[in-house]
Structure formats: C-alpha cells, structure tokens
Chain A
C-alpha cells in the first residue's frame, strides 16, 4: 500500500462554524496526526478559491486522501468530490466531517464544541485511510414507458411521451378511457364540458401508432430497475379469458386516480335511505342526462348542497379534497340556469376558492342568489323528512356559524359533495411498483415541494389524484411534468449509477435469501442456477439493511465497509 498522504481542510463557514468552534485549535490538533501531509483552515472552503486550494494541494503535495471538515455532506459533498476529481483524485477518496450542522450550530459551549469538532475530524481522518477508489456504473435506458391509468393524467402523460416519438403502453383497468373525469358534466370555473376535454385526448391516443392501448388490463408484476423494467400485463378478453403479456419499459407513470367517499358512512345524511339525498356523482349523472329532478320526477324548487362529506374531519379524512367547493359552485350555477327560481343553499365549512378564476366564480355564484350557510365541521347539518304541510321534501337543520343561529331550511334535493379518497387497492399498486403511501393511502412523492412527481424508486413517477386530491389543471401539469422527467432520462440514453451500492461476495453467500425480502427497494434478485443472491446496482440505494442482516457477512456495502466504519468509530473515540 502506498504511503498515506492526507490533506485536511477545516472550514470556518464565515462565522457559522468559527463562532462556536475554535477552528485553529482543530487545525492544530489534526496537523500533526500520522498520515496528514497538510492541514489548512479557510473562511469558505466551498468558495471557488477554497475549491482551488484543495485541487492545488492535491497536485502539489501528491495527496491521496482528502478530509474536509465543514458542513453536512448533503450540502457540499458533491462540491468537494468535484474538487478532487479536477485534481485527478478519485472522488470517493474524499470524506467530510460535519462540524457545522452536527456541531457548531447545535452547541453553545465553545470548548466542548471544539473538542467535538476535533473528534469528528479525527474520525474522518481515521476512516478515509480505508477508502477505496470507486467508479460509477452505467446502464441502458429503455425508451418505452408504461402508463398505468387511462384518466386525464394517464392520457396526458401518454400523449406527451408519444408525441416525442417514444413507445408508450397505456394500461386501463376498465373498458373505457377517461377515468373519473368522464363521469363529470361541466368543469369549474369556466363551465367547459368535461367531455370535450377528454374526447380530444382519447381520439389522439387512439390515432397514435406509438401508443399501445391496453383496455380491461391490469399490471400483474413489475421487475427490474430504472431503465430496465419488465412488466407483466394481464388483459381480460371478451369471453372471460385472461391473457398475459410481458413488456419491457424504462419508466413507469402511475396515474391510477381516486375513488369517491362512500356517503352512506355518514349515516345521518341519509344517503341510501332518503330518496332525494344524492352524491355529487349521482347529480353529475342527472346533469349529463339533462334532467334535474327528484325521485318523483318533479323539478326541485329547493336544492341544498352540503360540502366536506368525508373530508376535513378526523372521523373520516382529515384532508381537503380540493375540488368539491368549486364543483358545488358549479352546481349552483347549473341549477340556477336550469331554473332561475330555484332556491339553492350551499352549506359549507370553509369556502376554498384558491385557484385561478375561482374567487370570481365564487362571486358570480353569490350574484345569482345562492344562499351560503356556514357550519362547524364537528356539528353537521341534520336532514329529515318534511311534514305533510310543508311545500318541500326535506328540512335541514343547520347550526349556522356566521349568524350563530340554528335554522331550518327547505330542500327537495340534497347534494352531498363527496370527497376523494385513495383507491381501495392503492396498497396493492404501491406494492407492485414499490412506492410508499402516506397515512391516507396517497402515493408519496420523492419531495413534496422540489420533486413532486418522482418517487423514492427511480423510474417510477406519480401523476394526478393518486398522489393527493387535485383539480384538472394540477393533474395535467403533473402528468406533463412526469413525462418531461422521463423524456430527459430517455434523451440521456444511459443511466448513471452511483458507485456506492451493496455487493454480494459470491463465495460467501449461502443462498439463504434473507436479504431478498428485506430490501426495501426490491434491488436483490436471486440466481436460481448458482443459488446466490445478487444486488442490482442500479436499484440499490445503499441503505445497508442487507449488509447488516446477512448472517454470513457476505454482503459488502461499498463505501461503508466494516473497516471504514470501525475506523470512524475508533477515530471519534480516540
């Protein structure tokens, strides 16, 4: 083994580190350690002069290891690895000691903080001597994409990808395209026809030779990793039989949508018992048929719309379903245009009119004389049958919040604005494509703000209401965002795989398969012929679960070897 020549670079981070850590003391303590060829401290290591200092020292002092005592590696590890690469040093021979987030920022005692910074830096020095040069790998990127779900999200993503001249497999469980949007009459706030929105897309999908449309089909299984997935699609044919087809895809868009809340769960709203209490989707059906009528075929004179059915209440779903408020206003408009004398009362918890044009829509709904009544979400309205002398079918008792009065309003028809919920089988889908769900069953994004359509599994994207309730513009934006992410990857042609992953040492593997089930990323496959497990480097996230679990110690976590970790612990305790 060549002689160790370690360079240690201690950053002041302006006053971020220097205020609570005596940087010179750290520098003084490490500069005499065995193997340390040079030690420096500087105000901002991440600045261009700081990076150049590191590169220059590597060249001039023939350094073969670098330790940067600065911030979190999440912040600047890439920066310093690049500085090493620029000087001809393998980037994995660089190690960071986090003396900012884990030291200066969280301590006030300067002496103790300085001692801790010394220990952390010492640990990094101790560890880095066991670092090995690593190379990143590349894999092929299959340009075909699997889109699961034929609603507005799936249709949009499929068209976006196919229009860029790539193969798309569009899998839809039912016999028709359009999803939940196809059940809707007009859309808020512009009162455009939902049918028009979908028909254009469905026609284009049907006419596009690059889209393989698979109706009555479901994903059976998905194996592989980003760029190289193999999916098995199961299709029901007309005579009750089932066909299976294997397709190769590089990426997957999950656009499975939502299901509506079952209004019958709120028993005192009487859905299913009172004949003229309908859900929003049942009312959409009336609108699509062009006949708004009670069960007895009469034109309703009094219509009540109740918001937040199943939403924004801990008893059912704590979240807001985002589209019901505007849909309710849309109903008020449609009712008033069908019968201007109709008395429409809109019974809401809070009016959420957050989108473009929504506030104006709310105002115009007021102008057509919709009665807005506010109720407390823990004190729901009560619906009962009207008496023989009343000129209405039902009476609704509302504890009205704005006036603090308990009032009774007439209704011939009650529309329950049912919220969105994760589909009953969303857990199954999540398991198939290996993504996570939140507490409500919605699919989890990689980052809720910065990476909203990617998931923690590379190559699997989510779009639309399978991720959370959202309206049409947001759904379409997400579908296009997912397509853009995939097109970017396809354009690169190859995928780069980080050099840090787990490796099975074949000669030590007993084939017990314990790691196969344990891997949270489904990155370990089993070779039947040799009866050995194998880690798919591209799918491995280097979490180390298999390394720790292997009873034979046959799995080596690259860049997190036992020697490296032991040396780090020894260093911190020294």
Chain B
C-alpha cells in the first residue's frame, strides 16, 4: 500500500526551526559522520528523507531524533548546507507537540508569542497566588521570612510544591505513554517480549541521571555543560520538593545548603555558557536558536539569580522583607519554567530522552529476534 505524502509537512517543520532540509541530496555523509547511526537507526539521513517526502506517520513513530544529541558533526560535513543536525532538533520539537494531546505544545512551538504570553500569565498568577496566600489567609508579615509568622509558611509552600510535582508528573506520564504508543505500541510488525521490557528497565534511570549516550559524541564539552545544568536542576528539585522545610529553616543547615550552593553555581555557570554560546554562534549546535530555547535559558538563569538574591538577603544581610519580595519574583520564574516548559515545551525532554533510549534497546532486541528467526529458517549453505 502506498503511503500518501503530506506536501505541507516540510513547511510545517520550518515553524519548528527546520531550515534547508530540501537541500539534502542523500549523499549519506551525515550518517557516515554520526557515531550513533547504526542499524536499525539511520541517523539523521532517514529522518531527513522522510521529512522531505512528507511521510508524517513514519516520522511520528520514529525514535531517531531522540537518539541524536546534536554534536553538529553532520551539519559540518553536509556538502549542501542542509543542516541535518538542526532538522533533528526541530523534529524533537515537533515530536514533543505530537506526544502532547492538548495541542498546547504545538501552539507554543509555532508561536513564540503565545508561549511568552502563557509564561507571563502563569508568572502573574503565581504572584497573585503567593501574595493572596501571604497577606490573605496566611496573615503573615512581610518582615518575617522564616519561622513563626513568616509571610510564606514553608509547610504551605511545600504542599504547593508537591501538588505541582504530582500534576506535572501526571501530564508527563500521559505524554510518555503516547510516545510509547506512537513509536512502539501501535507497531504491529514489532513483537516485543515482556522480558525485554523488564530487562532494559534499568536504562530509564541510567540515562536519566547520566545522559551516558551524550557522552559518546565526539565532543565532550556539550555533554559536560548539559550534565552540569541537569545535575544542578535535579539537586534543586530534590531540595525544594523533598527538603524544603529544612531549606527554609532559620538555621543554616550546611548538610543541605552546601548542595544548594553547588547547584546554584552549576545552574548559573551552565546557563551562562549556553547563553554566551548561542549569542556567539561559533559552534554548530549553537548556530540556530529557537525562541523556546531563549525562554528556557532565561527562565533558568532568572530562577537561579533570584534564588541567590533571596538567599543572600535573608542569610547574609538579614533583610527579611527583601528576601520575601525576591522569593515572590523567584517563584515567578520557577513556576512558569516548570508548569509551561515541562508539559508543553523544551523541558519535556527529561522524560522523552531516557524513554527513547529504553525503547530503542527494546526495538533492537525485537529486531535481533526477527533476524535470528530468519537465519534459522534459511537452509544451511552447502560447502563449495
């Protein structure tokens, strides 16, 4: 059965950042340069071809963009300037919008203004919410940061944290299940054993925590930068979700706070490196920046910076009122970052990447089984 092409797909991907895909004439230099291009995953050439031809369903079901870490080698080797690396990046954005059933991700990726408005609205709502909580039913005082009578009592904030975390986890899980369905579940040709799912399960936390595959790219610096930002961010999340009450304690608990310091340094250093890189555009993977990338980096940097101000005001200078104001502003960065970017934008990759590694291993198992089966049915070759 012939597959009907979608003639508009290539134009649609342009709104996700793809450019010059049509220049590719399939010499294969990109796949020769890519350390990850191995059967059954032909990175990035197959995706380039499917995109040129508008094979939408094939692309929806591919894991390949998630197996690419954009080292930029393919784009550098391309004799026609077809930017395969950037195409894979834009395909990841497009796939994120395909996994999201609400259509919000699609809206945000196609219109940076929509995402900006959403971020601002969430930011303002956060401000209103926190002020209502502080001055309204909390009856707290602007001059008290921690302990009794604090403007933002830590147990309330902690409850909010857990609520948001639960909500986001539910959304991410839905999207992840949809990703599994599109790439694996609906694929009738793929016979996957339950054992394969179990056996490979360790890959999920392994790739989540280490981004081990990223480290196999020829250039190591991007992986280290990513690991720094990721590690700091996860540390912060653990601190604020699990240990918030200790974090807000009047006494400085160094066993906890030292991690806060380290994470802040990691976040500021990492985002500064990425922001400077994207402004200078010297490295291939920093040449093209989608508006969502800017928003992502600015939100993280803003959150880290306001976190420092809040921390310094309270702990170094004893200015509780300044610390409270800084905290509201800090939350106005953090909440939009989590509430908008995790379910509908760039940050969602924290779920999709490890899931892709896991599913890739599962696919490879299934295909290997098929090959063994074929080999067994072939007649033994006679000696010449």
- Pick the interface stretch among A142-150, A256-264, A366-374: A366-374
- Pick the interface stretch among B20-28, B191-199, B207-215: B20-28
A387-414 residues at the B interface, CB under 8 angstroms: 397, 400, 402-403, 405-410
Residues of A within 8 A of B49 (CB): 402-403
Which residues of B are at the interface with A, using a C-beta cutoff of 8 A? 1-5, 7, 10, 20, 22-26, 46, 49-50, 52-53, 55, 58, 80
Q: Indicate whether A369 sits within 8 Å of B22 (C-beta atoms), given known contacts A403-B46, A403-B49.
A: yes
B53:A373 contact, CB within 8 angstroms: yes
Residue A229 at the B interface, CB < 8 A?
A: no
Q: Indicate whether A371 sits within 8 Å of B3 (C-beta atoms), given known contacts A366-B23, A366-B80, A403-B46.
A: no
B80:A407 contact, CB within 8 angstroms: no
Residue A273 at the B interface, CB < 8 A?
A: no
Residues of B within 8 A of A363 (CB): 23, 80
A407:B25 contact, CB within 8 angstroms: no
B3:A406 contact, CB within 8 angstroms: yes
Residue A343 at the B interface, CB < 8 A?
A: yes
A408:B80 contact, CB within 8 angstroms: no
Beyond A367-B23, A372-B25, 11 extra complex contacts between A and B, CB < 8 Å: A363-B23, A366-B24, A367-B20, A369-B10, A372-B52, A373-B53, A400-B53, A402-B26, A407-B4, A408-B2, A408-B5
A397 to B50, CA, bound (A): 16
Residues of B within 8 A of A442 (CB): none
A397 to B3, CA, bound (A): 9
B7:A367 contact, CB within 8 angstroms: no
B22:A367 contact, CB within 8 angstroms: yes
Selected A-B contacts with CB under 8 Å, 11 pairs = A363-B23, A366-B24, A366-B25, A397-B2, A402-B26, A403-B50, A403-B53, A407-B2, A408-B3, A408-B5, A409-B7
Which 5 A-B pairs rank lowest in CB-CB distance, beginning with the nearest? A408-B2, A369-B22, A406-B2, A403-B49, A343-B7
CB distance from B39 to the nearest CB of A (A): 13
Which residues of A are at the interface with B, using a C-beta cutoff of 8 A? 302, 343, 351, 362-363, 366-367, 369-373, 397, 400, 402-403, 405-410
A373 to B24, CA, bound (A): 12
A405 to B51, CA, bound (A): 13
B7:A405 contact, CB within 8 angstroms: no
CB distance from B6 to the nearest CB of A (A): 10
A409 to B1, CA, bound (A): 13
CB distance from A341 to the nearest CB of B (A): 9
A340 to B217, CA, bound (A): 40
Residues of B within 8 A of A351 (CB): 25
Using CB atoms, name the residue of chain B closest to A367.
B23
Residues of A within 8 A of B5 (CB): 407-410
Residues of A within 8 A of B53 (CB): 371, 373, 400, 403, 405, 407
Q: Indicate whether A371 sits within 8 Å of B55 (C-beta atoms), given known contacts A343-B7, A366-B80.
A: no
A371:B52 contact, CB within 8 angstroms: yes
Residues of A within 8 A of B55 (CB): 403, 405, 407
Q: Indicate whether A407 sits within 8 Å of B7 (C-beta atoms), given known contacts A363-B23, A366-B23.
A: no
Residues of A within 8 A of B26 (CB): 402
A527 to B2, CA, bound (A): 73
A233 to B22, CA, bound (A): 55
A372 to B5, CA, bound (A): 13
A400 to B52, CA, bound (A): 12
CB distance from A97 to the nearest CB of B (A): 49
Residues of A within 8 A of B2 (CB): 397, 406-408
Residues of A within 8 A of B22 (CB): 366-367, 369-371
A199 to B25, CA, bound (A): 38
A373 to B25, CA, bound (A): 10
